[in-house]
Structure 1
Amino acid sequence: MNKNKIIKKAIEISQNAGDHAKNNFCEDGYKYESKSQTQDVTKIDKECEDIILSELKEISDEFKIISEEDINSHNQEIKENEYYWIVDPLDGTTNFRSGIKNFANQIALVQNNNVILACIYLPFENKVLHAIENEGSYCNNSKLNINHVHTTGNSLMNLESYLDEYDFKNLEKIRKEFKYVYSINSAVTSFAHFALGKTHLVYSCCDQPWDVAAGILIAKEAGATVSTPDNQAVDLFNPKVIASSSKDLHEKVIELLKK
């Protein structure tokens, strides 16, 4: 497998879909449907998905694809395949349909349930982040290195959550320790901003693999410490994730959550 060739094609596909969303962006808002109490979808989500899925199949029609808008793909049996894609064609739909520019897409290739290459595209920032396992993370082909911050008092935390009871309890345990806590309603964008050094910790309580698959690899390859809130390896299909800019900061947050 030529990973460099595949990531180059994945980036091209990601940009094609992201530019489609950007070209159809409307600051006055966009018509949408509600998939659930916490999830919206627009026509553009589906069009971006069509772009990505059709072009990924050109890389290999043997690789299965899990994509947010394709309900038929939401099947954990896909984990039995050696290779499969995880796709979010437009993460931050609520922002997009509200005329807010914080949205992104992500494409990740998984081998034996481990992400081996991934990319994220931020259309309005004109930034493509990508990573190949054990080869580092890059933004527009410039190598990324996490800005290591070691204490909570100097840290900016990004929270992405539907704020259920579990999340509220954990947030209450750690929020007072951080100087700033904010949310931009797009887990994919949050991981990108973290890898770019704009924030120092991401606490993602989103519950789907397409929210975090690419971000986890890009964060790790940029030098971050990544685990679940109870300091275990992340399960892509049950992805509560903390990504920290330093081991010291990570250990501090894990200890706070144990209380």
Structure 2
Amino acid sequence: MEEKTIKIMKEAARAGGGMVKKYFGGILEVIPKTTAADFKTKADMESEREIVTLLSGAFPEYNILSEESDYRDNGSGYTFIIDPLDGTNNFFLGVPYVSVAVALMKDEETLVSVIHDPFHDLTYHAVKNGGSFLNGSKIVVNKLEDVDQCTISYACSYNTAHNKKREDYSHIVDLHPKRAMSLWSPSRDFALLASGKIEAVVFNNPELYDYIPGKLLAAEAGALITKWDGEKDQCKNSEFIASNGTGIHAKIIQALNK
């Protein structure tokens, strides 16, 4: 993948992050979407506008799938996947656990991903078969093996039934990890896994833009990613486990399939 493409994707993510920082802490109108917990704000839309403007200007022939807009189909084999503000609920509450995420796919394969944390000036990126990086330095998952010392994150769709969420989360808690968490910014969770800060993430059917950027980042950092039943994962499969690849992974599979 050309360095120019990576550079522009980073610039786009940082530009979006600038809009996120600009509106953080302000009083913003909530624009409802599918459920009470699923909404957008001016920050989401302004971040998206900055990102799309940069990417479409540099790559006018590419398709664009972004969270807050209709799919822009240019008939290309290449598609940008964009989450302009991953963690809108956190943002609205004044909790700076958010990110801006951008990925480039060719057909069914993710080639490049960028995840930017605007509040700590952390820019993660990954290249297919080229590794994962944080602010230019290579990162890898850790190799912690003890479940009671690990941290496991859980993320799901806004439309996941409450009893299903409760069941999934209780199975994770029953493993007695150091911490089970659900922090509503999946791309940030992926970044923590890829940089060795946590040990696993469990996903139950989130939207495409919630996991495509992070999947590549985790995989290129050495993460093991499988379906819940342990079978081989596919790029667009949305029910999966990503972990540091130690025995923790098998224990999570066993717990989720009780």
TM-score (norm 2): 0.90
Which residue matches 2:94? 99
Distance apart, 1:245 and its partner CA: 1.0
Give the Cα separation in 1 of the matches to 2:31 and 2:237: 26
Give the Cα separation in 1 of the matches to 2:3 and 2:18: 22
Give the Cα separation in 2 of the matches to 1:49 and 1:110: 18
Q: Which runs of 5+ in 1 are unaligned?
A: none
- 8 Å CA contact 1:29, 1:99 repeated in 2: no
Q: How many residues are treated as equivalent by the alignment?
A: 252
1:178-230 CA distances to partner (integer Å, 9 max, x unpaired)?
23111211111111122122211111225211001110000011111112222
- Counterpart of 2:144, as a letter, is V
Give % identity.
Answer: 29
Any idea what SS the aligned residue of 2:247 has?
helix
Distance apart, 1:235 and its partner CA: 4.8
- 8 Å CA contact 1:3, 1:117 repeated in 2: no
Give the Cα separation in 2 of the matches to 1:140 and 1:131: 11
Q: Larger % of helix: which?
A: 1
How do 1:101-250 and structure 2 match up within 5 A?
101-161=96-156, 162=158, 164=161, 165-177=163-175, 178-235=177-234, 237-250=236-249
Identify if the C-alpha distance between structure 1 residues 61 and 233 changes in structure 2 by more than 3 Å, giving closer, same or farther. Answer: farther
- 8 Å CA contact 1:32, 1:41 repeated in 2: yes
Which residue matches 2:31? 33
Give the Cα separation in 1 of the matches to 2:53 and 2:28: 25
Which residue matches 1:8? 7
Any idea what SS the aligned residue of 1:138 has?
strand
- 8 Å CA contact 2:110, 2:235 repeated in 1: no
1:153-184 CA distances to partner (integer Å, 9 max, x unpaired)?
22111122345233333333332112311121
Give the Cα separation in 1 of the matches to 2:231 and 2:7: 32
Distance apart, 1:237 and its partner CA: 4.7
Give the Cα separation in 2 of the matches to 1:34 and 1:157: 30
Give the Cα separation in 1 of the matches to 2:27 and 2:46: 17
Give the Cα separation in 2 of the matches to 1:167 and 1:236: 23
Give the Cα separation in 2 of the matches to 1:173 and 1:13: 38
Give the Cα separation in 1 of the matches to 2:199 and 2:42: 34
- 8 Å CA contact 1:244, 1:250 repeated in 2: yes
Distance apart, 1:113 and its partner CA: 0.9
Q: Which runs of 5+ in 2 are unaligned?
A: none
- Counterpart of 1:108, as a letter, is A
Give the Cα separation in 2 of the matches to 1:166 and 1:230: 17
- Counterpart of 2:138, as a letter, is K
Any idea what SS the aligned residue of 1:241 has?
strand
